[in-house]
Amino acid sequence: MKKNIAIIGAGISGLTLGQKLKEHAHVTIFEKARGVGGRMSTRYADPFYFDHGAPYFTARTHEFQSFLQPYIEDGLVAEWHGKVINLELGKKATKRLWFEPHWVATPNMNSVCKQLGQGLDVRLSCEVAPLTRKQSDFWELQDKQGTPLGAYDWVISTAPLAQTQTLFHTETPLHGAPMHGCYSLMIGFNRPWNKQWIAAKVRNNPIEWIIINSTKPQRNKDVTSILVHSSNHWADEHSDCDMQEAQKMLVEQFMALTAIDSAGADYLSTHRWKYAVIEDRKGDMCFYLDARHGIAATSDWASGSRIEEVWLSANRLAERILAI
C-alpha cells in the first residue's frame, strides 16, 4: 500500500521531492504563501515584475544541466547575457566578468516551480503548525488555525532551518548552517532601460547587487524593473529596522551609486527576507532523515546556498526515502 507523505514548502526543494515521490506515494504539499516558488518567487506589480529572491542560477553538474536541458529547449529557462559591472561609491565603474552561464526561468523566476507543481497536490495559503507527537503510526497534521490536514506516514520539511526546528521541535536535534537576511528593494519606471549594463556588483556598501530585471529574457522591455539586494551583513544589522526607514536608506545609496532619480519612480517597494541565504556550510550533511519517526528535512541550510545544490539534495533525499 502506498504511504502518505506530507511535504512542507512549495519551493524548488519541496516540488522536486514531490515529483520524485509522487509515483510511489500519496504526496501532499503544503505552502503557506499564495503561490509556489519560495525564494524563487516573483513580485507582480504590473507592468513591473521582480524576481525578488534568487535573481539567477548557475548549473555546474551534469545532473542539474540534464534536468535543465528540456526546459532550455522549451524556452522555460534561458541564459541571461549582457554587460555586468562593479560599482563603488567615488570610484569609476569597471567591467565584471562572468565565467559561466547565468540562467533564469522565463517569463518569471517562479515559472520553473509552476511547471514542477503540475500534477502535484499543492495546498496553497496553508501554514502547517508545529508537529505534535505521532499518533499510532501517523503524524496528524494541522494548520495554524487548528484545522486538520490529514494523517501521514512521513513529514518532510523544506522550510528554513529555524522554521524547521520549530515544526519538528520535539523530535529532532537539527542543526545546519546559519542563515542571513536580505532586503530586496524594487524600483519600477515606465520607460525602457537606457544604460548598457544589466547588473552591478556593489562593493563596500549596504547594497550588494543591482539587477535590471527587465533585461532578462522574455521580460517587458517597455518598462524598467530594477531589483536591489542589500548585503546580508547589512540586513542582519538592520533586521529590526522599520521597513520605510530601511527602504529610504537603500534608495539613498542606490541614487548615490547610479545617479538614477528614484524619487520619480513609478513603483517602489521593499521586501525583507528574514532567512535569505546561508553563509557557509560545514560538514557533509545534505539532508536530515529520521526513518524511525518518519521525518526528514532539506533546504539550503543542509546542502549549500545555490539553487543547484538545493535541487541535488532534494533528489538525494527522495532516493533515500524510496530506498527505505
* Residue least distant from ligand FAD (Cβ): 38
Should residue 307 be labelled a site residue for ligand FAD when binding is judged by CB under 6 A?
Answer: yes
- Decide if residue 227 touches ligand FAD (CB under 6 A): no
What whole-number distance in Å separates Cα of residue 281 and Cα of residue 292?
26
Q: According to CB under 6 A, which one of 5, 14, 156, 297 is a site residue for ligand FAD?
A: 14
Q: Is position 238 an interface residue for ligand FAD (rule: CB under 6 A)?
A: no
Residue among 159 and 226 whose Cβ is closer to ligand FAD: 159
CA distance 168 to 174: 9
Tell me the DSSP string of 249-281: HHHHHHHHHH---GGG-SEEEEEEEEEEEES--
Residue 263: CB minimum distance to ligand FAD, A: 25
The bridge status of strand 103-105 relative to strand 77-79 is: antiparallel
Site residues for ligand FAD, window 20-59 (CB under 6 A)? 30-33, 38-40, 53-57
**According to the binding rule CB under 6 A, does residue 149 interact with ligand FAD?**
no
H or E, element range at 239: none
Residue 183 touches ligand FAD, criterion: CB under 6 A = no
Question: Does 163 sit near ligand FAD (CB under 6 A)?
Answer: yes
Point out which residues pair with 269 in neighbouring strands: 186
HEC secondary structure over 290-314: ECCCCEEECCHHHHCCCHHHHHHHH
Nearer to ligand FAD, 178 or 259 (CB): 178
Q: What span, in angstroms and rounded, lies between the C-alpha atoms of 35 and 54?
A: 16
Nearest distance in Å: CB 261, ligand FAD: 25
Binding flag, residue 179, ligand FAD (CB under 6 A) = no
In which residue are the cell numbers 503524524 written?
139
Please identify which residue in 299, 315, 317, 318 interacts with ligand FAD, judged by CB under 6 A.
299
Q: What size, in residues, is the chain?
A: 324
The distance from CA 139 to its chain's CA centroid, rounded to whole angstroms, is 27
Among 77, 85, 161, 182, binds ligand FAD (CB under 6 A): 182
Q: Does 104 bind ligand FAD (CB under 6 A)?
A: no
Indicate the SS3 state at residue 220. Answer: coil
Q: Tell whether residue 11 is a contact of ligand FAD (CB under 6 A).
A: yes
Q: Does 300 bind ligand FAD (CB under 6 A)?
A: yes
Beta carbons of 37 and 129 less than 8 angstroms apart: no
Positions touching ligand FAD (CB under 6 A) are 8-14, 30-33, 38-40, 53-57, 127-128, 158-160, 163, 167, 182, 184, 229, 273, 276-277, 299-300, 305-307, 310
